[in-house]
Chains A and B, each alone.
Chain A
């Protein structure tokens, strides 16, 4: 396959052999309605203006770039620049997509939104948008994740959302998506499923990407104006892949910019406890799209493992599968231990505590900088802040008095 042409212009439902709509017929009308509403909004200046104004006055966009020199000393001397999505309202990139979809829900006249969440960042962002727009909000969250991200559960409840712990299957993000899909199949008339990542059936992968593409658009301009050149490489963590595609998208047709996604390798690459879907999975159908996924020989989904609830997912967005097969992006694994070390390192060298998800990208940068050398500049998506992870981090590093 060739990688010439405009990769940025790719629209769903298919990204090469990936994507599609592998869903019950019950959802097709809702997906058609969503796509039609989105297509109108895309070319409607008033929609774009409303979203941009929300981002300016509510989200806090544009997010800044921060060069982290003390951290970079540990990365082979490469320059490391963070795109600070952690400074967005609600503490992560997730709000970019949520505000866009909430506006679409309003346009479709839906009174109720439902969402899945792993780490709770998307759930918090959804609950926030529901509060802002006066919508009913139900968030499905794996029971395991409600425990390891208890603080975010409390935030969602305070914002007025109902949080439903999911007790089926692995009790994590995958099962939360199953429950959200069940809810949607049942209540599709008055409910919008505010899917939080670039997975799922068309039009979600394309639409969620578009809402997050503001990250890369801003960052590309900021690199040129503040640093005078494009970065040598991009780095982002990949679970479903929303923050990564948000950063990557604006650079897809800049062949001189290398692109790296970092998946959760859990207990380590080569072990069977990981969430490194693009490294160890193979194409299949999960949650409405054809993409790489972790599965056994019978096509049963295999449970993923990661210290990070947000990356603990056995699937990945179809556009990432496409970029991997095209060779436009490389995807590597980062273990729990490597991520936690990087989390502590950024905290101590720069005074910035990243989310555990984001720490996977930072750990990747420490290795990447040594490969690319001191003349390189690496732009990292600092996708979320680590406040929600204090309990996990405190336990991991033994910071709490017994």
Chain B
């Protein structure tokens, strides 16, 4: 069983909420992103989602896009993702999933990327612009190396597509709560419940976490009543951008209820 799955099960058994936190690698620099990620893990994030900065991030809203643009301007190189995963994993036991658009993986080489991720201690990938239909190389590599693979399910996905996504995913399924791109929203879309329901309906014993649009502790708690976890991104990025490590720590504690 994957580390991520174990965390969902342990939290469920203990009646605890699960919080998945996103932070961009290399934002604003390599060293600062390391400290930020460690802080999030030490302050209540159960699973870390480490984002790879990419030149054309079509699923990201303005807050994350600005952060990843800055990381690239500051010279972030893809190979350092593995160093960062390793450095984080040396200091905290929180599992690290890497969130990446597909072209960087393709150019690095799918097998090589998977192998280096495994060596660094990473547990898998979240792939926002890779659908299961196009993922054969990654399915093979992740099977071989026992890495998690998190695909997206959305309000517009048919039950048939959700079934395939649920079957192909390992770790959890990422339920997109609104049709929109990432960015904190005041009203969490009711569509989230419908997506989670579709995942449950597909029958498999699969965890599902809801992301995109979650910005408050109340929303994290609400999502945890019907899903297995809540994914938060922009709020952490904004907190760090506005108030550095101390603000990031405060917001993480607030959202995780710790």
**A-side interface residues toward B, CB under 8 Å?**
20-26, 28-30, 168-169, 174, 178, 181-182, 185-189, 284-288, 295, 297-301
Q: For B65, give the chain A residue with the smallest CB separation.
A: A168
Whole-angstrom distance from the CB of B111 to the nearest CB of chain A? 15
For the complex, give the distance between the alpha carbons of A246 and B56 in Å. 28
Q: Is B176 an interface residue (CB 8 A)?
A: yes
Q: Which residues of chain B (73-118) have a CB below 8 Å from chain A?
A: 77-78, 102-108
B77 touches A23 (CB 8 A): no
Besides the known contacts A26-B176, A298-B104, 7 further A-B residue pairs in the complex with CB atoms under 8 A apart: A21-B134, A22-B102, A22-B130, A24-B152, A26-B156, A178-B57, A178-B58
Residue from A28, A189, A288 within 8 A of B179 (CB atoms): A189
| Shortest beta-carbon distance from B148 to chain A in Å | 17
Taken together as a complex, chains A and B put the C-alpha atoms of A372 and B208 apart, in Å, by 63
Task: Judge whether A299 and B78 touch: CB under 8 Å.
Answer: yes
Q: How far is the CA of A169 from the CA of B65 in the complex (A)?
A: 10
- Closest chain B CB from A118 CB (angstroms): 16
Q: Which one of B78, B131, B154 contacts A21 once the chains associate, using CB atoms below 8 Å? A: B131
Contact B72 A300 (CB under 8 A): yes
- Asked whether, in the complex, the Cβ of A23 is within 8 Å of the Cβ of B129, the reply is yes
Q: Cβ of B55 < 8 Å from any Cβ of A?
A: yes
- Judged by a CB distance under 8 angstroms, whether B10 is at the interface is no
Q: How far is the CA of A97 from the CA of B56 in the complex (A)?
A: 26
Q: How many angstroms between the C-alpha atoms of A287 and B101 in the bound complex? A: 11
B181 CB–A CB distance under 8 Å: yes
A185/B179 contact (C-beta < 8 A), A25-B165, A299-B107, A300-B104 known: yes
Please measure, in the bound complex, the distance between the C-alpha atom of A182 and the C-alpha atom of B54, giving whole angstroms: 15
In this complex, what residue of A is CB-closest to B162?
A25
B133 within 8 A of A: yes
CB distance from B64 to the nearest CB of A (A): 12
Instruction: Contact check, A188 vs B128: say whether CB atoms are below 8 A apart.
Output: no
> Which residues of chain B are within 8 angstroms of A187 by Cβ–Cβ distance?
179
Nearest first, the 7 A-B pairs at minimum CB distance are A299-B107, A29-B156, A298-B78, A299-B104, A25-B152, A299-B103, A186-B180
Report the Cα distance A23→B157, complex, angstroms. Answer: 13
Chain A residues, CB < 8 A from B58: 24, 178, 181-182, 185
> Are the C-beta atoms of A25 and B157 separated by less than 8 Å?
yes
Nearest Cβ in chain A — how far from B102, in angstroms?
5
Bound-state CA distance A178–B238 (Å) is 22
* Residue on B nearest A170 in the bound complex, by CB: B55
Bound CA–CA A203/B54 (angstroms): 25
| Interface residue ranges of B120-175 to A (CB < 8 Å) | 128-131, 133-134, 151-154, 156-158, 161, 165
Find chain B residues with CB under 8 A from A287 CB: 56
Q: Mark B51-76, 1 if CB is under 8 A from A, else 0.
A: 00011111100000100010010000
Tell me how far the C-beta of A146 lies from the nearest C-beta in chain B, rounded to whole angstroms: 19
Q: Pick the contact of B107: A168, A288, A297 (CB < 8 A).
A: A297
Chain B: CB-nearest residue to A169: B55
Contact call B179/A186, Cβ cutoff below 8 A:
yes
CB distance from B211 to the nearest CB of A (A): 12
A26–B130 contact, CB under 8 A?
Answer: no
B55 touches A29 (CB 8 A): no
A78 to B58, CA, bound (A): 46
Return B34 CB to nearest CB of chain A, in Å. 19
Nearest CB in chain A to that of B165: its residue: A25
Contact residues in B for A288 (Cβ distance below 8 Å): 129
Determine if B179 and A26 form an interchain contact, defined as CB atoms under 8 angstroms apart. Answer: yes
Hey, which chain B residues are within 8 Å of A28, CB to CB? 131, 156-157, 161
A300 to B133, CA, bound (A): 23
Known: A186-B180, A300-B72. A22 touches B134 (CB 8 A): yes
* Cα–Cα distance between A178 and B60 once the two chains are bound (Å): 10
- B-side contacts of A284, CB under 8 Å: 103, 106-107
Contacts of B179 on A, CB cut-off 8 Å?
Answer: 26, 185-189
CB pair A298 B181 closer than 8 Å: no
**Cβ contact of B154, chosen from A25, A182, A285, A300, cutoff 8 A:** A25
Q: Are A174 and B131 in contact (CB under 8 A)?
A: no
Complex Cα–Cα for A28 and B105 (A): 21
A188 to B153, CA, bound (A): 15
A30 to chain B, nearest CB (A): 7
Q: Are A300 and B65 in contact, with the CB atoms below 8 A?
A: no
Q: Can you give 18 contacting A-B residue pairs, CB < 8 Å? A: A22-B102, A22-B129, A23-B129, A24-B128, A25-B131, A25-B154, A25-B176, A185-B58, A185-B181, A186-B181, A189-B156, A285-B103, A287-B56, A297-B107, A298-B77, A298-B107, A300-B72, A300-B104
A174 to B57, CA, bound (A): 12
* Known contacts A26-B176, A300-B72, A21 near B165 by CB under 8 Å: no
Once bound together, how far apart are the Cα atoms of A397 and B69, in whole Å? 37
- Is A29 in contact with B56, judged by CB distance below 8 angstroms? no
A185 to B154, CA, bound (A): 11
Contact status A285-B106, CB under 8 Å: yes
Closest to B53 in A: A300
A297 to B181, CA, bound (A): 27
Q: A185-B179, A284-B107 are in contact. Are A30 and B156 (CB under 8 A)?
A: yes
Closest residue of B by beta carbon distance from A181 = B58
Distance in angstroms from A372 CB to nearest chain B CB is 38
| Bound Cα distance from A10 to B231, whole angstroms | 42
Quote the shortest CB–CB distance from B137 to chain A (angstroms).
12
The distance in angstroms between the C-alpha atoms of A298 and B25, with both chains bound, is 14
**Contact partners of B130 in chain A: CB under 8 A:** 22
Residues of chain A lying within 8 A (CB to CB) of residue B157? 25, 28-29
User: For the complex, what is the distance from the CA of A22 to the CA of B56, rounded to whole Å?
Assistant: 13
Q: Within the assembled complex, what's the spacing in Å between the Cα atoms of A189 and B134?
A: 24
